[in-house]
Structure 1
Amino acid sequence: MRPIALALVLAALSGPALACGPDALGVSRTLRVGTLGGGAVGLKTYPRTLPLAPGEVVLTFDDGPMPGKTERVLAALDAECVKATFFMIGRNAAAAPRLAARVLQEGHTVAYHSMTHPNMRHLGVAAAQANIDKGFQAVDEAVYGDAWNEPRAPFFRFPGFADSPALDSWLASRDIVVFGADLWAGDWEPMTPDQELARLLARLDRSKGGIVLLHDIQPRTVAMLPRFLRALKEKGYRIVHLVPGPGPLETRPAPAGWTSETERILRSSAKGAGG
């Protein structure tokens, strides 16, 4: 990532310090994720993840911004002085530019999730690259008011986690890190907010933390989020905020016997695994 781009992103994220009381969940630390040479993280898909300590949680939201829902997610995060990473779809950012810009203005990290959310494995490489680049451009125009040749923040998540070696290599050549997830609630499946909360907390208790995938377009997630954040506080979890950083990506390996859950799901379902 160009130094000037990194400086702009970090400046936008710094903002004034929030007056958080001791009862707020808050952010325990900010992790600067190196992107030089690219790379990929998230144990659901890749055999490595971020070097998080036990009990540390990274919150990520996909598919927004969505008027009527993303605002409520932002309000819930603000109430607990929490920061997250939003992987935006280009067409949604273009349709709601003020809301997209608000995400960054409130101190969250804005990342990318393609232009139209296709399954990239169903497209040719050139078409997939064009869709990704259009997503970069649309999000940056909505959030920053213009777009450069490279995305402002070099974080990308494939729709449905449907990557390919060719696309992974292409993104790595541009110093862009690919994000999977370590766990999810499966909030694209029919369930009540109570069921989603119980499922997500149970999975967190098994994994002892990690990169969490949620969707700010899902009403059930919007409804359960305030209680989820309070439960994280009560259970002693700590929030880590991600921002782009210098140097190469630092990771920790998957445990012995690891397999890719998303590859199994992608093989068995043309729809993929959410994301």
Structure 2
Amino acid sequence: MTRCLSATLRSALAAWMSFVAAAEAAECPRKDALGTSRVLTVDAATFPRVGLKSFPQTLPLEDREVVLTFDDGPWPPTDKKVLAALAQECVRATFFLIGRNASAHPELVRRMAAEGHTVAHHTFAHPNLKHMKPEAAIGEIDKGIAAVEAALHGTASTTPSTPFFRFPYFEMSPAALDILQKRGIAVFGADLWASDWNPMTPAQQLTLLTERLQAARKGIILLHDPKAQTASMLPAFLRYLRDNHYRVVHLVPANAKNVSGKAH
């Protein structure tokens, strides 16, 4: 009886701690900030591949809900501006990091995590994996995972603490996809993007992105944090989201210990 009661209390305490952590995602000192509306737990068993630009399925987002994702960091000249803009609006995002950059700038990787963002994976050196042999492609993925884990936790591991991965250029092979699915690693595409790999002014990029969002109404948005035009555009885009009643959803893995459920 005592053992059963103790287990019940532990379960209740864990649930309460999860609720408190989720609620903290929405706390913000600025009452007029955009904020993070809720936390969505992503389990690779349920959502092994998401993003309508690459796959038939995406995340279960409601109308006017968006997920902000950034590729190719960390990159100090621009990430400081990106992180400042996100902090100003109390918004949390997911960063798909290149392992080589993470090894060069581990302090930025740790800062991203410390500020509540989700740190995910994007290979070691950003090659096109589609035409590589599966073992070579997985080796490149694992090298990237190990570099990010070492930057984040001080110990290299090919088991990602956040099992989220995005293929460079969205180029992938069925064999690599199958291997990642068997390992419980969710693969992310995107639902819309800012095309920020093309040179344009921040104003032009803002117009392009907001027009695409008006058409899609919701979705996983792809941005690139090393792009100066994106870093410059981001504060205006976050204000646009706030002024037009969009809501930001923060993604965490199913094994996350610090957040779960919906933020209130």
The residue number in structure 1 matching 2:242 is: 233
- CA distance in structure 1 between the aligned counterparts of 2:25 and 2:241, rounded to whole angstroms: 24
| Secondary structure of residue in 1 paired with 2:226 | coil
Any residues of structure 2 matched to 1:233-252 within 5 Å, and which?
233-245=242-254
Partner of 2:197: 188
Counterpart of 2:94 (choices 60, 79, 85) is 85
1:173 corresponds to which of 179, 182, 197:
182
Measure, in 1, the Cα distance between the counterparts of 2:241 and 2:47: 31
In 1, Cα distance between the equivalents of 2:198 and 2:139? 30
Partner in structure 2 of residue 113 of structure 1: 122
Report deviation, 1:149. 4.0
Q: Give 1:71's aligned residue.
A: 80
The count of aligned residue pairs is: 237
Alignment of 1:213 with 2:217, yes or no, is no
1:23-52 CA-partner distances (Å, limit 9, x unpaired):
100011000011237610000111110000
Answer yes or no: is 1:99 the counterpart of 2:99.
no
Which shows bigger deviation, 224-233 or 146-155? Answer: 146-155
- Three-state SS of the structure 1 residue aligned to 2:160 is coil
CA contact (8 A) 1:63 1:88 kept: yes
SS at match of 2:187: strand
Percent identity of paired positions between Structure 1 and Structure 2: 54
2:53 pairs with 44, 52, 71, which one? 44
CA spacing shift, 1:101–1:15, aligned 2, 3 Å? farther
For 1:81 and 1:234, how far apart are their aligned partners in 2?
15
Distance 1:148 1:218, change over 3 A: same
Distance change in 2, residues 1:14/1:28 (3 Å): closer
Gap runs ≥5 in structure 2: 1-19, 256-264
Q: Is the 8 A contact 1:37 1:172 kept in 2?
A: no
Change (3 A) 1:13 1:147: farther
Following the alignment from structure 1 to structure 2, what is the Cα–Cα distance between the partners of residues 19 and 224? 22
* More moved, 17-26 vs 171-180: 17-26
How far 1:89 moved relative to its partner? 0.2
Cα distance in 2 for residues equivalent to 1:62 and 1:36: 23
Asked whether the equivalents of residues 185 and 213 of structure 1 are also in contact (C-alpha less than 8 Å), the reply is yes
User: In the aligned structure 2, how far is the partner of 1:56 from the partner of 1:16?
Assistant: 16
Could you tell me which residue of structure 2 aligns to residue 224 of structure 1?
233
TM-score (norm 1): 0.82
Q: In the aligned structure 1, how far is the partner of 2:87 from the partner of 2:46?
A: 34
Deviation at 1:148, TM superposition (A): 2.9
Paired letter, 1:199: L
User: Cα distance, 1:19 vs. partner?
Assistant: 3.1
Secondary structure, aligned partner of 1:212: strand
How far 1:144 moved relative to its partner? 1.4
Does structure 1 retain, via aligned residues, the 8 Å contact 2:22–2:39? no
Secondary structure of the 1:241 match is strand
CA displacement, residues 175-220 of structure 1 (integer Å, 9 cap, x when unaligned): 0000000000100001110000000000000000100000000000
Q: 2:238 & 2:63 partners in 1: Cα distance?
A: 17
CA contact under 8 A between 1:12 and 1:105: conserved in structure 2?
no
**Separation in structure 2 between the aligned mates of residue 109 and residue 215 of structure 1, nearest angstrom:** 15
The 1:16–1:35 alpha-carbon spacing in structure 2 relative to 1, beyond 3 Å, is closer
Between stretches 220-229 and 16-25, larger displacement belongs to 16-25
> 1:28 and 1:111, CA in 2 relative to 1: closer, same or farther beyond 3 A?
same
1:18 is displaced (CA, Å) by: 4.4
Distance 1:124 1:37, change over 3 A: farther
Letter in 2 for 1:140: E
Where does residue 142 of structure 1 map in the other structure?
151
